[in-house]
A = this chain, B = another copy of it.
Amino acid sequence: MTKDLQDYLNKEARVLSDKVIKVNSFLNHQVHPPLIQAIGTHIAKRFENEPITKVLTIEASGIHIAYAVALALGVPFVYAKKSKAITQSGVYSTSVYSFTRQQKYEIAVAEEFLSPQDNVLIVDDILAEGAGVRGLLEILEQADASLVAVSVVIEKSFQNGRKMLDDAGYPVYALARIASMSPETGIKFIEESE
């Protein structure tokens, strides 16, 4: 899967600069379902021996990936909702700063869907600065739920998200780790032995 995904990215992703990669023709605007199904099955396989009770993601671009993983694991998934203000009761919530949009937004999860008994796999499409994942981790803490790992499809390893998670001791599993990239030379991946 990891090699297949690298091939897929080499072929279908568009590298616009050394920071920006567009994957919206198959991952997060138009979506290619067989790819997502393969990704979901692969991530689920990796964590099949963990006592995961729930998959957690954030709307919108993590939803189909969380669904594919959760279906393969046989557990429900929950997606944190974005909103402008925390005015709701009965929710865990925190604010997230989006580097892409350069604005803050709130994310929320209803209290009834996360409990101290939950072992949670966080799933998302892309790990860059890690702001979204950090928000989800805060919500897990509020719920006193346990983290099993953070799993993402693509990691931009040259940005701060992975380092932040490594430093804090959270297990991370990224299917494709991008060391560097440019429109001229394409994508350079970090190769790992599984």
Contacts and interface: CB of A to CB of B under 8 A. Distances in A.
Given A30-B77, A78-B30, A24 B60 contact: no
A70 B29 contact: no
Give chain A's interface residue range (CB within 8 Å of chain B). 20 to 34
A45 interface: no
Interface stretch (A3-11, A32-40, A146-154, A167-175): A32-40
Interface in A40-96: 59-60, 63-64, 67-68, 70-71, 75-79, 81-82
A25 interface: yes
Contacts of A29: 78-79, 81, 109-110, 113
A112 interface: yes
Contacts of A36: 67, 71
